[in-house]
């Protein structure tokens, strides 16, 4: 045990949170894939359990390996990574309906694996931004010299992603915003950043082919809160049934009935199944662990304002925002969008990229601990 | 250490606070769903999605040659669920709708239901102001039951071809068990009730194989019985049932049923039983009950009467108590055992044992058995056991009864029991059990298990085959069997059944006539039977006929009532069995020529032919169509009317008649070759579809 612990560098609490969420994920996925197993595997539910378990292990290995690297290496390659990502993003926009999954054209297929270049873009822009925010501390005060180039890159990436995947673009935009806030950028500049972002959004809505979908989702969302006779769509209704029948402590592990009725219960809507099986309590616990993860990262930021701290802040907010958005959609406080629940949902690329992100966060934490030279447990006492 | 400034710390706190706030909003919404809206959702949970079972297709029951004797047909009604319908998904909706409406009107409409009617019906559904308020809005379109061929056509039409998720296409289904040959062998094939539960016959005995495995699908309930499968969710697929390939032969079934029916009707009997078995294999080639309301042939036991005398004879011969040429004195044709007097039908006087058997002397056989076994009746019973007469045959139908017998030592056993038993009273056996015993005699002493099913198949693949099971290789010595077979031949040659003697082929068999026993006594009612085999020297088929309660005057003897039916069957099978013909007619002489019989022909074509050629066809009934059969060497004609709903059997009809008949039923006919019909593409008994004329292809000789 000690040997294992000695191999795990970085914040132990973060490690613990990851392990707990992964275990929860195994339980939730095993239960919610029963309908998939029914459909494709002749009822062999273990197939998806084993597959998901293997992916989680792979994700943990990726995370472990990544956390052994010095995160500063990533800074070096961030620009190159960004330059690779942009053409890939362009490719997904123009490839039309080639790789259509859930009617959004955002996937690239290599062999029989498909991945979303936007996953890569998220990582690239975070690292890049962390680096420039750290390096150009001095010139940042100058709007034209310092801030505008950063703004341009962020908006460019978002603009490339937005037509096919608006929610990821918004997510990246918000995470960049948070990094800027944490980096101490002038509030006026940040205000400008937000305004320009909003203008771009409006332009996009006017020209993008998927605008009708967004509009209907937003209109649907507004109606839900304003129209007393509003009838929710089937997916939301099924999610609500799952939540309502879950009660305080849920139906118990594996006792979900809505998993059969709720589409994508193993990916985008896994939170509904968690509440159905573990109740409000289980849902709150899940939220708590994500917030705990964020909190531990925030502690790093309070003690240092380095490239690493900014990067960790960006990545952690990205993971946690995505988690909160996913849960918000599931329970209906946000309009429908297709973001998976990080570390929970089934899906190969999501788990691998989450692993990389967590690896980087742990790498930052590891190096912060080593630099402080203090006892690990007390390292981030607030 | 690069400490952060206070302003940034405040930003951090605020940000984190924002996250916590949003998390609380999520939890708040969860609580709201659970408590404020809770009842609403929990109520919905009860009825929204249901698990529906999808019936597997029940397997077919096939004849020996693979013709369908029983099959499952599924019929459909078609409509759309306007709530599911998504107008946006159709590019040229109005054009598609027009084509769909025209198709519906053309195939399923009438004067009132024209294209406009269907178009407006669909439009009124999908534009209904009620739509937002209802869970579903089912618009029925095709209200008659259509079959799967028609459904295939319907689903190819515009709008419907986009599938149920977009078009709201919804089906109402009905599965029906269908027996193309109707009453032919019905009780043996079995019964499947409306809820598709098998209760009788092969359907019941092989239910597990035929039934397959039902699938499960998650579905949403639409109007009425309609369920819409939710395709995005899992479903457990159905596994269709296996097919049973039986030993039953359609031609022989037809021959046997027709002969039995004629026999029952002619004798005004209650019912009749006929079973035809292939001697070597024990394959039941035909089985008939007339009327087909109960499987008397297998499921009920009777006192066999005189047909049982052969068992007594075997016992005596095996124990060498008598030989066929020994003289037996039957006295004045009656004999008294205690208070019971047994009489013969004719007074025979002194006759050989063989003649006594041929004449079915009760006195002779009872005397012999009584004299030889009265001190040790169990020795006689043991013979019966050795011949497997006291056990069921093991046929693969459920509920075969055990033979029952009054044994020495029980209360009912009396001094008259043994003499009674010797000629078939005091023992109860099913017709099949008696047939099985006679079959062993014909089969050189080898008693085999009667077989109805020869293979279980999955589509074209054979899953399991059944071989003939030998129950005992020799039920008696060859010497005894030779003598017994000579007696059975004598019965037809010069004995009780000499009326059915044929010049063309030899029959061996035994008549039987029993008085029926009910309400505690023997009644003035009879049961006539004949069991035998043919050709006598090299038996190929064994056959049993039993006619219950013939009631035309004094005509109730097995020789008068049952034997002619046997003869009719044997003669028809002879006429159609090439193997038998070769043996029977080594040289075709004038005496063996038979008049040709038209199986089915139009009256205006066939009657002039018969009349011109002077073929004796005494009865010439009125009617457009005539069905021919042979009675001895006289052609019998009967009026025949096609059943309007089903494709008739046109085999062996002249091309001209077949075309006329089929076209009169609304079918399109295509011909290949010339001469008489050899093969037809639509199976007899297939439903004829009115709206959508089918083409039937006929191959001619």
Residue of B10, B18, B42, B234 to mutate, interface with A, max A Cβ within 10 Å:
B234
Rounded to the nearest 5°, which phi and psi values hold at A261?
-100, -20
- Are A245 and B232 within 8 A, CB to CB? no
Most distant CA pair in chain B: distance in Å?
Answer: 139
Model pLDDT, residue A345: 83
CB proximity A191 to B under 8 Å? no
User: Which residue, among B489, B484, B495, B481, has the nearest Cα to B358 in the 3D structure?
Assistant: B495
Residues B541-553 have a mean pLDDT of 94
More confident call, A9 vs A274: A274
Q: Write down how long chain B is.
A: 701
- Are B42 and A241 within 8 A, CB to CB? yes
Residue B233 pLDDT greater than 60, yes or no: no
Which among B11, B20, B233 is the nearest to A260, CB-wise? B233
- Grade residue A114 by pLDDT with cuts at 50, 70 and 90: low
Residue A97 pLDDT greater than 50, yes or no: no
Model pLDDT, residue B47: 55
Residues B462-471 have a mean pLDDT of 93
More confident call, B617 vs A310: A310
Model pLDDT, residue B606: 80
CB proximity B36 to A under 8 Å? no
* Signed CA dihedral, B126, B129, B132, B134: sign only: negative
CB proximity A218 to B under 8 Å? no
Of A228-232, B7-11, B207-211, B662-666, the least confident:
A228-232
Residues B368-386 have a mean pLDDT of 94
Three-state SS for B352-421 is EHHHHHHCCCHHHHHHHHHHHHCCCHHHHHHHHHHCCCCCCCCCCCCCCCCCEECCCCCCCCCCCHHHHH
Do residues B678 and B699 make contact, with C-beta atoms less than 8 angstroms apart? yes
User: Which residues of B are less than 8 Å from A184 in CB distance?
Assistant: 4-5, 7-8, 11
Closest CA in chain A for residue B232: A263
Rounded to the nearest 5°, which phi and psi values hold at B520?
85, 0
Rounded to the nearest 5°, which phi and psi values hold at B78?
-125, 140
Q: What percent of chain B has pLDDT over 70?
A: 91
More confident call, A63 vs A222: A63
- Grade residue B346 by pLDDT with cuts at 50, 70 and 90: confident
Assign B498 to helix, strand or coil. helix
State the Cα–Cα distance between residues A5 and A17, nearest whole angstrom: 15
Model pLDDT, residue B460: 79
Do residues B627 and B636 make contact, with C-beta atoms less than 8 angstroms apart? no
Model pLDDT, residue B701: 67
State the count of interchain CB pairs (< 8 A) between A and B: 134
Model pLDDT, residue B300: 92
Residue B14 pLDDT greater than 50, yes or no: yes
State the Cα–Cα distance between residues A150 and A177, nearest whole angstrom: 11
Burial label for A273, CB within 10 Å (0-12, 13-18, 19+), is buried
Query: Which pair of structure tokens corresponds to residue A121?
Result: 């873009």
Query: Which pair of structure tokens corresponds to residue B213?
Result: 């495995």
Model pLDDT, residue B303: 94
Residues B390-408 have a mean pLDDT of 93
- Are A324 and B218 within 8 A, CB to CB? no
User: Which residues of B are less than 8 Å from A178 in CB distance?
Assistant: 15
User: Which residue, among B85, B80, B245, B302, has the nearest Cα to B169 in the 3D structure?
Assistant: B80
State the Cα–Cα distance between residues A236 and A329, nearest whole angstrom: 9
State the Cα–Cα distance between residues B150 and B162, nearest whole angstrom: 17
ipTM entry: 0.88
Model pLDDT, residue B618: 65
- Are B7 and A240 within 8 A, CB to CB? no
Model pLDDT, residue B42: 78
- Are A261 and B44 within 8 A, CB to CB? no
| Domain B642-701 listed as CATH 3.30.10.20 | yes
User: Which residues of A are less than 8 Å from B9 in CB distance?
Assistant: 302
Model pLDDT, residue A376: 42
The A residues from 136 to 165 touching B (CB cutoff 8 Å) are none
User: Which residues of B are less than 8 Å from A263 in CB distance?
Assistant: 232-233
- Grade residue A37 by pLDDT with cuts at 50, 70 and 90: low
Query: Which pair of structure tokens corresponds to residue A297?
Result: 């990262």
User: Which residue, among B582, B194, B246, B545, has the nearest Cα to B396 in the 3D structure?
Assistant: B246
Q: What is the CATH number of domain B52-242?
A: 3.90.1310.10
Residues A141-147 have a mean pLDDT of 70
Do residues B45 and A258 make contact, with C-beta atoms less than 8 angstroms apart? yes
CB proximity B379 to A under 8 Å? no
Question: Of the ranges A94-108, A289-303, B152-166, B401-415, which is most confident?
Answer: B401-415
CB proximity B616 to A under 8 Å? no
Give residue limits of the domains in chain A. 1-68+232-377, 77-223
How close A17 gets to chain B, by Cα (Å)?
Answer: 17
The B residues from 90 to 149 touching A (CB cutoff 8 Å) are 132
- Grade residue A212 by pLDDT with cuts at 50, 70 and 90: confident
- Are B12 and A182 within 8 A, CB to CB? yes
- Are B19 and A257 within 8 A, CB to CB? no
Q: What percent of chain B has pLDDT over 90?
A: 44
Model pLDDT, residue B319: 94
User: Which residue, among B371, B366, B309, has the nearest Cα to B341 in the 3D structure?
Assistant: B366
Do residues A246 and A276 make contact, with C-beta atoms less than 8 angstroms apart? yes
CB proximity B9 to A under 8 Å? yes
Rounded to the nearest 5°, which phi and psi values hold at B167?
-90, -10
How close B118 gets to chain A, by Cα (Å)?
Answer: 29
How close A15 gets to chain B, by Cα (Å)?
Answer: 20
Quick: pLDDT tens for B172-198.
777 788 888 888 999 999 998 877 888
More confident call, B554 vs B419: B419
User: Which residues of A are less than 8 Å from B234 in CB distance?
Assistant: 34-40, 260
Model pLDDT, residue B684: 81
Rounded to the nearest 5°, which phi and psi values hold at B558?
-55, -35
Assign B572 to helix, strand or coil. helix
Phi-psi region of A59 (alpha: psi -120 to 50; beta: other; left: phi over 0): alpha
Do residues B330 and B344 make contact, with C-beta atoms less than 8 angstroms apart? yes
CB proximity B41 to A under 8 Å? yes
State the Cα–Cα distance between residues B554 and B292, nearest whole angstrom: 26
More confident call, B123 vs A35: B123
Residue B593 pLDDT greater than 70, yes or no: no
Residue A115, strand partner residues: A108
How close B27 gets to chain A, by Cα (Å)?
Answer: 7
User: Which residues of A are less than 8 Å from B34 in CB distance?
Assistant: 243-244, 246-247, 280
Residue A101 pLDDT greater than 90, yes or no: no
Helix (H), strand (E) counts: chain B: 23, 32
Helix (H) or strand (E) holding B243: strand B243-246
Residue B31 pLDDT greater than 80, yes or no: yes
What's B250-584's CATH class?
alpha beta
- Are A263 and B38 within 8 A, CB to CB? no
Residues B343-369 have a mean pLDDT of 92
Model pLDDT, residue B693: 65
User: Which residue, among A130, A136, A158, A160, has the nearest Cα to A148 in the 3D structure?
Assistant: A136
User: Which residue, among A295, A302, A288, A341, has the nearest Cα to A317 in the 3D structure?
Assistant: A295
Q: What is the gyration radius of the CA atoms in chain A, in angstroms?
A: 21
- pTM of the full structure: 0.55
State the Cα–Cα distance between residues A162 and A179, nearest whole angstrom: 20
Helix (H) or strand (E) holding B266: helix B250-266
State the Cα–Cα distance between residues B15 and A88, nearest whole angstrom: 33
Model pLDDT, residue B321: 93
CA angle B520, B526, B531 (to 5 degrees): 120
Model pLDDT, residue A28: 86
DSSP label at B11? H
Nearest 10 degrees: Cα torsion A337, A342, A348, A349: 70
Quick: pLDDT tens for B487-524.
999 999 999 999 998 887 889 999 999 999 888 888 88
Question: Of the ranges A178-187, A291-300, A366-375, B269-278, which is most confident?
Answer: B269-278
Which among A181, A280, A303 is the nearest to B15, CB-wise? A181
Instruction: Please provide the average confidence, as pLDDT, over all residues in chain B.
Output: 86
CA angle B296, B299, B300 (to 5 degrees): 70
User: Read out DSSP for A344-361?
Assistant: TS--HHHHHHHHHHHHHH
Residue B437 pLDDT greater than 90, yes or no: yes
Which among B1, B3, B45 is the nearest to A245, CB-wise? B45
Burial label for B376, CB within 10 Å (0-12, 13-18, 19+), is exposed
Of A175-184, A367-376, B341-350, the least confident:
A367-376
Do residues B412 and B356 make contact, with C-beta atoms less than 8 angstroms apart? no
Closest CA in chain A for residue B15: A178
Q: Write down how long chain A is.
A: 382
Residue B590 pLDDT greater than 60, yes or no: no
Q: List, in sequence order, the alpha helices (H) in B551-690.
A: 558-561, 563-576, 578-584, 603-613, 655-664
CB proximity A41 to B under 8 Å? no
Quick: pLDDT tens for B557-576.
999 999 999 999 999 998 88
User: Which residues of A are less than 8 Å from B215 in CB distance?
Assistant: none
Closest CA in chain A for residue B134: A231
How close B133 gets to chain A, by Cα (Å)?
Answer: 9
Residue of A184, A190, A225, A240 to mutate, interface with B, max B Cβ within 10 Å:
A240
**Residues with Cβ within 8 Å of residue B373, at least 6 apart in sequence:** B315, B379, B380, B418
- Are A243 and B7 within 8 A, CB to CB? no
**Residues with Cβ within 8 Å of residue B437, at least 6 apart in sequence:** B310, B311, B387, B388, B389, B447, B475
Residue B621 pLDDT greater than 80, yes or no: no
Residues A365-378 have a mean pLDDT of 62
């Amino acid at each position: 045990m000690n040997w294992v612990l000695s191999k795990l560098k970085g914040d132990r609490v973060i490690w613990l949170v990851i392990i707990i969420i992964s275990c929860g994920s195994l339980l939730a996925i095993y239960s919610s894939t029963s309908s998939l197993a029914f459909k494709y595997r002749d009822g062999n539910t273990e197939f998806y359990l084993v597959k998901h378990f293997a992916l989680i292990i792979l994700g943990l290995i990726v995370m472990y390996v990544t956390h052994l690297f010095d995160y500063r290496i990533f800074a070096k390659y961030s620009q190159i990574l960004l330059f690779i990502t942009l053409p890939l993003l362009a490719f997904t926009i123009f490839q039309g309906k080639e790789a259509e999954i859930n009617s959004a054209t955002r996937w690239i297929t290599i062999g029989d694996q498909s991945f979303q270049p936007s996953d890569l873009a998220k990582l690239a822009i975070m690292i890049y931004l962390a680096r420039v925010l750290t390096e150009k501390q001095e010139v940042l005060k100058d709007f034209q010299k310092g801030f505008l180039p950063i703004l341009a890159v962020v908006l460019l990436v978002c603009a490339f992603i937005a037509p096919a995947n608006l929610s990821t673009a918004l997510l990246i935009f918000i995470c960049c915003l948070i990094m800027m806030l944490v980096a101490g950028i002038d509030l006026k500049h940040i205000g400008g950043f937000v305004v320009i972002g909003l203008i771009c959004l409006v332009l996009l809505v006017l020209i993008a082919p998927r605008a009708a979908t967004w509009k209907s989702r937003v209109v649907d969302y507004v109606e839900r809160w304003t129209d007393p006779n509003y009838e929710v769509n089937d997916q939301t209704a099924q999610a609500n049934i799952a939540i309502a029948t879950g009660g305080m402590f849920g139906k118990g592990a594996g006792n979900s009935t809505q998993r059969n009725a709720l589409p994508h219960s193993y990916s985008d809507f896994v939170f509904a199944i968690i509440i159905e099986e573990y109740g409000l309590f289980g849902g709150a616990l899940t939220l708590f662990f994500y917030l705990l993860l964020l909190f531990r990262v925030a502690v790093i930021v309070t003690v240092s304002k380095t490239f690493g701290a900014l990067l960790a802040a960006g990545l952690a907010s990205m993971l946690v925002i995505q988690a909160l958005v996913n849960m918000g959609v599931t329970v209906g406080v946000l309009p429908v969008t297709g973001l998976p629940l990080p570390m929970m949902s089934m899906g190969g690329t999501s788990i691998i990229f989450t692993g990389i992100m967590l690896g980087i966060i742990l790498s930052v934490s590891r190096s912060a601990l080593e630099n402080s030279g203090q006892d690990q447990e007390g390292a981030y006492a607030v | 250490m690069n400490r952060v400034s206070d302003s940034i710390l405040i930003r951090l706190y605020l940000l984190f606070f924002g996250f916590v706030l949003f998390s609380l909003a999520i939890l708040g919404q969860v609580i709201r769903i659970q408590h404020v809206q809770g009842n609403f959702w929990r109520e919905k949970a009860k009825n929204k999605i249901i698990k529906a079972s999808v019936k597997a297709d029940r397997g077919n029951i096939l004849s020996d040659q693979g013709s369908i004797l029983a099959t499952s047909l599924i019929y459909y009604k078609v409509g759309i669920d306007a709530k599911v319908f998504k107008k946006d998904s159709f590019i040229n909706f109005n054009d598609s709708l027009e084509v769909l409406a025209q198709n519906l009107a053309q195939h399923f409409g009438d004067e009132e239901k024209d294209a406009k009617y269907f178009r407006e019906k669909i439009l009124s559904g999908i534009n209904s102001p009620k739509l937002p308020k209802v869970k579903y809005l089912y618009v029925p379109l095709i209200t008659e039951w259509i079959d799967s061929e028609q459904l295939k056509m319907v689903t190819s039409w515009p709008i419907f071809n986009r599938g149920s998720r977009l078009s709201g296409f919804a089906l109402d289904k009905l599965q029906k068990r269908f027996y193309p040959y109707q009453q032919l062998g019905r009780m043996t094939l079995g019964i499947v009730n409306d809820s598709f539960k098998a209760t009788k016959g092969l359907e019941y005995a092989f239910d597990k194989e035929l039934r397959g495995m039902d699938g499960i699908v998650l579905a949403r309930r639409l109007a009425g019985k309609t369920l819409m499968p939710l395709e995005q969710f899992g479903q457990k697929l159905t596994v269709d049932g296996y097919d049973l390939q039986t030993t039953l032969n359609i031609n022989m079934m037809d021959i046997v049923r027709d002969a039995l029916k004629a026999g029952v009707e002619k004798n005004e009997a209650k019912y009749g039983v006929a079973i035809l078995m292939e001697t070597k294999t024990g394959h039941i080639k035909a089985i008939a009950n007339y009327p087909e309301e109960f499987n008397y042939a297998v499921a009920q036991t009777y006192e066999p009467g005189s047909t049982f005398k052969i068992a007594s004879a075997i016992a005596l011969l095996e124990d060498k108590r008598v030989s066929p040429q020994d003289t037996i004195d039957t006295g004045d044709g009656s004999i008294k055992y205690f208070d019971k007097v047994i009489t013969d039908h004719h007074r025979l006087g002194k006759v050989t044992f063989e003649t006594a058997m041929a004449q079915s002397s009760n006195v002779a056989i009872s005397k012999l058995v009584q004299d030889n076994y009265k001190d040790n009746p169990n020795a006689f019973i043991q013979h019966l056991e050795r011949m497997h007469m006291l056990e069921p045959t093991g046929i693969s139908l459920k509920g075969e009864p055990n033979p029952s017998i009054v044994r020495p030592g029980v209360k009912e056993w009396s001094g008259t029991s043994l003499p009674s038993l010797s000629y078939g009273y005091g023992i109860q056996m099913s017709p099949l059990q008696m047939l099985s015993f006679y079959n062993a005699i014909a089969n050189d002493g080898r008693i085999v298990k009667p077989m109805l099913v020869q293979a279980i198949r999955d589509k074209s693949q054979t899953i399991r085959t059944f071989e003939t099971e030998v129950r005992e290789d020799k039920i008696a010595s060859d010497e005894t069997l030779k003598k017994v077979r000579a007696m059975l031949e004598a019965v037809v040659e010069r004995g009780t059944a000499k009326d059915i003697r044929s010049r063309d082929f030899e029959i061996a068999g035994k008549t039987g006539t029993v008085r029926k026993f009910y309400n505690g006594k023997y009644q003035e009612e009879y049961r006539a039977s004949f069991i035998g085999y043919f050709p006598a020297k090299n038996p190929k088929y064994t056959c049993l006929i039993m006619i219950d309660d013939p009631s035309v005057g004094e005509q109730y003897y097995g020789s008068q009532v049952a034997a002619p039916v046997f003869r009719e069957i044997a003669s028809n099978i002879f006429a159609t069995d090439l193997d038998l013909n070769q043996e029977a007619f080594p040289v075709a002489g004038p005496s063996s020529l038979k008049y040709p019989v038209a199986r089915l022909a139009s009256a205006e074509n066939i009657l002039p032919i018969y009349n011109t050629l002077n073929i004796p066809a005494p009865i010439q009934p009125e009617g457009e169509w005539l069905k021919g059969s042979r009675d001895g060497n006289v052609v019998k004609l009967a009026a025949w009317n096609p059943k309007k709903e089903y494709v008739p059997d046109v085999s062996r009809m002249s091309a001209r008649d077949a075309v006329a008949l089929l076209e009169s039923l609304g079918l399109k006919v295509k011909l290949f070759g010339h001469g008489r019909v050899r093969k037809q593409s639509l199976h007899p008994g297939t439903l004829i579809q009115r709206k959508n004329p089918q083409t039937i292809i006929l191959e001619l000789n």
